[in-house]
């Protein structure tokens, strides 16, 4: 099979022929039909995760995977409901199955877990072996395209879990203002979930790109604010003008840049909640006294679990999720990585096979 593999940090991926993987008895061989391209892939290539995890080269990136079952292991029970030819998406975050996080279903935060796209097998290849318990069958009669499905496994999943945390904490509802920071691959989905889950809150999108903000408005944001060149007080005044108040009750941060986090915390109302899912930066610096005295709550939210993705897939099957995509072929992988590096992708980049 053809695969785009990483042989070291800060190097172009190498397109090469490698053997089709064997599968264990409890696995399925998935023929990849589409692989989403995440900024995390770029960070992996550039060495962002080097201090957090030891990588073994060569590895195949690509953790947003949609495809079909090519072959299924001998010990997979019929009760799984899976069979050869089924259209599926791959749940990321494969836990060890024994820790308390795995037992409660949050395999994506298992300390001893593994992920497709961070080892020998990933979506930037024609086939990938997957434990069947991390496959979700697509119920759409083929109406959902692979290039639409693949991004839902991360870009469409991660902000969903982050907004669920805001909802479950009581941060959303009528007469509340919820902000979406960063309208990129994750943010285009976040504004849709904010509309679906916020219980009547006013949704305001914040970004530096007017084209992306226009998409946010089209996808459900009530208001959009371009923060380029503006002070906190300028932004507060504009927020007050468009939303009726200059403070935020909740933030879903799809950027994760230090300056955006500082801006967000400077705009929070007392008792507000902030949910971080973006990883553009690597540090945060916020003043402690207002954090304590105004009783802010800061939520870290990582990826999503099987149940979260099942809910996202149900929304997709009901036609409630829209997509902004830039679609290419596997041979375009290094060109698309450079587009990601330059911030020149509106929505999500996807490789198809």
| pLDDT tens sequence across 245-262 | 999 999 999 998 999 999
Q: Does 3.90.180.10 match the CATH number of domain 2-154+304-352?
A: yes
Q: Where in the chain is the domain with CATH 3.90.180.10?
A: 2-154+304-352
Question: Which residues lie below 8 Å from residue 68, measured CB to CB, with a gap of 6+?
Answer: 30, 31, 33, 85, 86, 87, 88
pLDDT at residue number 284: 87
Please give the biggest Cα pair distance in the chain.
Answer: 63
pLDDT at residue number 58: 96
pLDDT mean across residues, the chain = 95
Q: What 3-state class would DSSP assign to 321? A: coil
pLDDT at residue number 281: 78
Q: Where in the chain is the domain with CATH 3.40.50.720?
A: 158-300
Given a cut of 80, whether residue 177 has pLDDT beyond it is: yes
Given a cut of 80, whether residue 34 has pLDDT beyond it is: yes
Residue-wise pLDDT tens digits, 284-299? 889 999 999 999 999 9
Residue with tokens 């149940």: 307
Given a cut of 80, whether residue 304 has pLDDT beyond it is: yes
- Average pLDDT of the segment spanning 185-213: 96
CB atoms within 10 A of CB 285: 10
- Average pLDDT of the segment spanning 275-288: 89
Q: Are 82 and 73 in contact (CB under 8 A)?
A: no
The DSSP letter of residue 267 is T
Q: For residue 43, which of 13, 10, 12, 14 has the smallest C-alpha distance?
A: 10
> Cα(57)–Cα(125) distance, rounded to whole angstroms?
15
pLDDT at residue number 51: 81
* CATH, domain range 158-300: 3.40.50.720
Write down the pTM of the prediction. 0.95
> Cα(220)–Cα(203) distance, rounded to whole angstroms?
8
pLDDT at residue number 74: 95
pLDDT at residue number 48: 87
CA distances from 248 to 154, 215, 277, 301, 343 (A): 26, 21, 17, 19, 27
Residue-wise pLDDT tens digits, 94-140? 999 999 999 999 999 999 999 999 999 999 999 999 999 999 999 97
């Amino acid at each position: 099979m053809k695969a785009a593999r990483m042989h070291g940090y800060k190097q172009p991926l190498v397109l090469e022929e490698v053997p089709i993987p064997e599968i264990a008895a409890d696995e399925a061989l998935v023929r990849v039909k589409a692989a989403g391209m995440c900024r995390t892939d770029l960070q992996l290539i550039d060495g962002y995760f080097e201090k957090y995890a030891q990588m073994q080269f060569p590895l195949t990136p690509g953790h947003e995977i949609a495809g079909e079952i090519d072959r299924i292991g001998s010990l997979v029970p019929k009760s799984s409901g899976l069979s050869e030819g089924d259209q599926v998406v791959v749940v990321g975050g494969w836990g060890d199955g024994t820790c308390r996080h795995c037992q409660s279903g949050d395999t994506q935060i298992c300390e001893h877990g593994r992920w497709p796209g961070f080892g020998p097998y990933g979506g930037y290849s024609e086939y990938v072996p997957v434990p069947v318990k991390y496959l979700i069958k697509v119920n759409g009669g083929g109406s959902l395209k692979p290039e639409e499905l693949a991004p839902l496994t991360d870009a469409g999943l991660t902000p969903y879990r982050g907004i669920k945390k805001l909802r479950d904490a009581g941060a959303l509802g009528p007469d509340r203002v919820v902000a979406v920071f960063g309208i990129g691959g994750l943010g285009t989905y976040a504004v849709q979930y904010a509309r679906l889950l916020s219980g009547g809150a006013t949704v305001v999108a914040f970004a530096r790109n007017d084209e992306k903000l226009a998409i946010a408005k089209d996808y459900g944001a009530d208001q959009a604010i371009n923060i380029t060149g503006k002070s906190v007080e300028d932004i507060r005044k504009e927020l007050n003008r468009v939303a009726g108040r200059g403070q935020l009750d909740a933030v879903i941060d799809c950027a994760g840049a230090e300056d955006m986090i500082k801006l967000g915390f400077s705009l929070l109302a007392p008792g507000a909640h902030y949910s971080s899912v973006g990883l553009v930066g690597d540090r945060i610096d916020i003043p402690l006294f207002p954090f304590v005295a105004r009783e802010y709550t800061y939520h870290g939210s990582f990826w999503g679990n099987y149940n979260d993705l099942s809910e996202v897939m149900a929304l997709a099957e009901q036609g409630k999720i829209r997509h902004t995509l830039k679609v290419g072929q596997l041979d375009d992988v290094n060109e698309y990585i450079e587009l990601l590096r330059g911030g020149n992708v509106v929505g999500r980049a996807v490789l198809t096979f």
